[in-house]
Amino acid sequence: MIKVEWKIHPNIKAGTSSRHGGFSEPPFDTLNLALYLDDDKETVIKNREKLASQVGVPLSQWVFPKLTHSTRWIKVTTADGGKGAMDEEASLFGYDAIYTDESNLVLAIGHADCIPLLLYCPSKHLVGAIHSGWQGTVDQVIDIFLKQWIEQEQCDPKDIHIYIGPSIRKHNFFVKKDVIEQVLQMGFDVSPFLTPVDDQHTLLDLPGLNIEMMMRNHIPIENITDTKLCTYDQTDDFFSYRRSKISGRHISFIVQT
């Protein structure tokens, strides 16, 4: 059920779910964890409850933001526990980045091909989760989030650890000129992350762009854990929206105990 674990600290439980071990029927088979798809709601809740049981924290202590490919962040508390867990309408609308300094509160980000980023700053007792698709990457959500932690939460960049979860990788991510034009406006040299294929298509390295922004915020490269797993390639383990427009979603999660 949990495909990848991020073993960064004994008091941190974090990782990414696979597509297996749930109850959903095709094409959402079997561990679809998104309530907003055309899957049976009660089945999705059952899937979430099973994952919550494996993590060891009840679903009432999970927080699910309603993702909109924004750069907005929010700091959550135990009062937010359960928001979006059983009902999509009750989720924290319009936030693609959440964090907390409280224990036993699970931060959950749904995704298929987009990049899930999990963060941990032990000295400030902070954990965070970010959803970064191509739009969030171009709009530099990780840069905005890190500046919040460094400038407002007083985190030392050398004390911030980051996990890059399963997502679509460069060799499968073809984009057209409209996207490339936005990438070129990011304010730093993006050429290492672009590989032209023909007049209309270019391969784009989204994880690479995110890592570049992390390093520009002085996060040590040794503090960055990249799973290097491709959701598009690994059909047996992961959902992929690019591979199949009708598909389920995983969850990447983090909690401190």
> Would you state the pLDDT for residue 53?
98
Residue 194 lies in a domain: no
> Would you state the pLDDT for residue 182?
97
What mean pLDDT is predicted for residues 35-62?
Answer: 98
What mean pLDDT is predicted for residues 105-117?
Answer: 97
Q: Is the pLDDT of residue 167 over 90?
A: yes
Residue 230 lies in a domain: yes
Residue 147 lies in a domain: yes
> Would you state the pLDDT for residue 199?
87
% the chain with pLDDT above 90? 98
Q: What is the pLDDT of residues 195-242, one digit of tens each?
A: 999 988 999 999 999 999 999 999 999 999 999 999 999 989 999 999
What mean pLDDT is predicted for residues 55-69?
Answer: 97
> Would you state the pLDDT for residue 245?
87
Residue 175 lies in a domain: no
Q: Strand, helix or coil at 165?
A: coil
63, 108 contact by CB (below 8 A): yes
> Would you state the pLDDT for residue 152?
98
Residue 121 lies in a domain: yes
> Would you state the pLDDT for residue 24?
98
Q: How confident is the model at residue 194 (pLDDT cuts 50, 70, 90)?
A: very high
Global model pTM greater than 0.95 = yes
Q: Is the pLDDT of residue 59 over 90?
A: yes
Rounded Cα gap, residues 127 and 162, in angstroms = 10
Residue 38 lies in a domain: yes
The DSSP line for 209-254 is: HHHHHHHHTT--GGGEEE---BTTT-TTT---TTT-SS---EEEEE
Rounded Cα gap, residues 166 and 116, in angstroms = 7
Residue 57 lies in a domain: yes
Question: 140: domain range?
Answer: 2-168+205-256
Q: What is the CATH number of the domain that holds 225?
A: 3.60.140.10
Q: Is the pLDDT of residue 150 over 90?
A: yes
**C-alpha torsion 97→101→105→110, nearest 10:** 10
> Would you state the pLDDT for residue 55?
97
- The helices-and-strands tally (H runs, E runs) of the chain is 5, 16
Number of domains within the chain: 1
Residue 45 lies in a domain: yes
Q: Check residue 25 and report its DSSP letter.
A: P
* Mean pLDDT for the chain overall: 97
Q: What length does the chain have?
A: 257
Q: What is the pLDDT of residues 172-189, one digit of tens each?
A: 999 999 999 999 999 999
